[in-house]
Amino acid sequence: MQINKQITFLGAGSMAEAIIGGLISQNIVSSRSITVANLQDQDRLAYINETYQVNTESNRLEAVQSADIIILAMKPKNLQDAISYIKEDVTENQLIVSVIAGIPTTLIEAELITNNPVIRTMPNTSAKVGESASAICLGKFATDAHLLTVETLFKAIGSVSLVEEEQMDAVTGVAGSGPAYFYYMVEAMEKAACNAGLSKEQAHDLVTQTIVGVGKRLQNTNKTPRALYQEVMSPGGTTEAGIQKLAEHHFQDAIQDAVGNAVNRSKELGQVLSKN
Ligand SMILES: NC(=O)C1=CN([C@@H]2O[C@H](COP(=O)(O)OP(=O)(O)OC[C@H]3O[C@@H](n4cnc5c(N)ncnc54)[C@H](OP(=O)(O)O)[C@@H]3O)[C@@H](O)[C@H]2O)C=CC1
Ligand SMILES: O=C(O)[C@@H]1CCC=N1
């Protein structure tokens, strides 16, 4: 299903690019219906324009006026300035979609002058290849029709879960930040592979296919993660030797701490702005 709406991205960073790349490659919107504006970085706009053939606009007010959907894709600390700059030009029928970590819909609604529908989302950068694990929740003026539009957009870039707003910080720590934890581990595995005698290219190919296989397996089985890693481990074998080291380094505690810290940071980001 194609979405026949004008979409303006305010913010042209990694997340905006991942979503734009996903939407265009899935042909869910035409590049002509996307406009991208940022704060100041003209080189970045030129790159986005050349790479995706979308419209770019150095005048943020012009970008906003032409939009049916405004996607807020700036850092949390830039949100209030961003809204205060555009709010006189925002009209009530425009759908506001936020991808910003930690920021509640109530805060966005309060910054606006008009009673706009607001939908908070949390995608991840795998949107670029159509594999984001996104979650969405609705602000108080958003209807089922707005939900359907945003679900359609985000389904083009991966899976979509409808969650309660109080679950969004958890989603952010797990799935928004999640790709980074895996890339961090992949970096370590590639280093280990090279140290063990493989070339960089061999290491990259083997580790990448291993992680793709793990993802696909998880999607296609009812077995628990424990059953799956036990399936790999022969008594006295190589995997047991590897897992023994992970356990000695308290790997699972480290992962749980990492996710917990990210969830708490998401909560803090919302609280800091709510106090301003
Ligand atoms: N990166 C990720 O994996 C994910 C990020 N997010 C969320 O997405 C948002 C963006 O993150 P990310 O793309 O990584 O950040 P980047 O720093 O890569 O990009 C931020 C963008 O916001 C622009 N910007 C800043 N102020 C304004 C403004 N007042 N009006 C319009 N645009 C503005 C910047 O423009 P300029 O360069 O000109 O200053 C820049 O293009 C964050 O809120 C983050 O929480 C959510 C899920 C995953
Ligand atoms: O690190 C961040 O704050 C953003 C939100 C989720 C992923 N990146």
CATH of the domain at 145: 3.40.50.720
Same domain, 104 and 209: no
Res 84: pLDDT: 97
Q: b/e string for 161-176 if b means 16 or more Cβ within 10 A?
A: eeeeeeebbbbbbbbb
List, for the chain, all residue ranges whose pLDDT scores fall below the cut of 50: none
Nearest by Cα to 105 from 19, 163, 18, 160: 163
Would the CB of 267 count as within 6 Å of ligand 1? no
pTM metric for this prediction: 0.96
Would the CB of 59 count as within 6 Å of ligand 1? no
Same domain, 186 and 145: no
Res 271: pLDDT: 87
Res 276: pLDDT: 64
Same domain, 70 and 185: no
Query: Which ligand 1 atom sits closest to the C-alpha of 269?
Result: 45
Question: Is 271 part of a structural domain of the chain?
Answer: no
Query: Which ligand 2 atom sits closest to the C-alpha of 76?
Result: 3
Name the token pair of 59: 């005048």
Cα(40) to centroid(ligand 1), Å: 12
Cα(74) to centroid(ligand 2), Å: 11
CATH of the domain at 193: 1.10.3730.10
ipTM > 0.90, yes or no: yes
Nearest residue (by CA) to ligand 2, atom 8, is 177
Q: What is the DSSP string of 70-137?
A: EEE-S-GGGHHHHHHHHGGG--TTPEEEE--TT--HHHHHHHSSS---EEEEE--GGGGGT-EEEEEE
Same domain, 25 and 122: yes
pLDDT digits (tens, 9 = 90+) for 100-152: 999 999 999 999 999 999 999 999 999 999 999 999 999 999 999 999 999 99
- Domains: count for the chain: 2
Nearest by Cα to 19 from 41, 52, 44: 52
**CA pair distance 180, 117, nearest whole angstrom:** 31
Question: Is 87 part of a structural domain of the chain?
Answer: yes
Res 174: pLDDT: 98
Res 152: pLDDT: 94
Cα(173) to centroid(ligand 1), Å: 17
Same domain, 160 and 32: yes
Q: What domain range includes position 56?
A: 7-165
Question: Is 246 part of a structural domain of the chain?
Answer: yes
Same domain, 70 and 129: yes
